[in-house]
Structure 1
Amino acid sequence: MTTDEPTEVRCRKCARKLRTPVSRARRLGEGCWRVLRAEARARSAPVPLPGLTGHGDRAGLDGPSLLDQLPEDGTDGP
């Protein structure tokens, strides 16, 4: 005896019944997936180091850069 209805799959986090194939494959509902993904992104975000905040795009680069060593006449070397 076969039926066309798939077996019931529930979310591992909230136990709601899953309907979409993607959610069923993950075994996580769409809302739970978004929350877990946001938490993972927050954990992997770079952490600002003390004393290096507020420097704009040159955070922590107080010394000379590689471009400071180029001659002012536009040539590539000495």
Structure 2
Amino acid sequence: MVTTTVRTATTDEQPKVLCLDYRTPVTTAASRARRIGAGCWRKRKAKARAAAAPVALPGLSGRGGPGQTGPDLLDDDQDGEDDLR
């Protein structure tokens, strides 16, 4: 019987990885792979979301706005009768 021992590297044995934004050491595996610290990553994501938010999609500009081609499905029936029979 052959036994194999798998040895994982500890943080002391791993090369030092610095954050690209603040040049501080990053410790988690995800941060090391991105080369961006967790706090900097949250700031970057928030900034990207804020920049992408004001995009208006065609036809979704609001009730009765430009781009709406048909009747508003949320309008009440004018004669009080249900059109579905």
**TM-score interval w.r.t. the shorter chain?**
0.5 to 0.7
- The aligned residue for residue 44 of structure 1 is 52
- Aligned-pair RMSD on alpha carbons? 3.1
- The aligned residue for residue 61 of structure 1 is 64
- The aligned residue for residue 26 of structure 2 is 18
TM-score by length of 2: 0.58
TM-score by length of 1: 0.63
Deviation at 1:67, TM superposition (A): 4.4
Of 17, 20, 32, the match for 2:40: 32
- The aligned residue for residue 55 of structure 1 is none
Gaps of 5+ in 1: 49-57
More helix by share: 1
Identity %: 38
Equivalent pairs counted in the alignment come to 66
> Is the Cα contact below 8 Å between 2:26 and 2:36 reproduced in 1?
yes
Q: Which has the larger radius of gyration?
A: 2
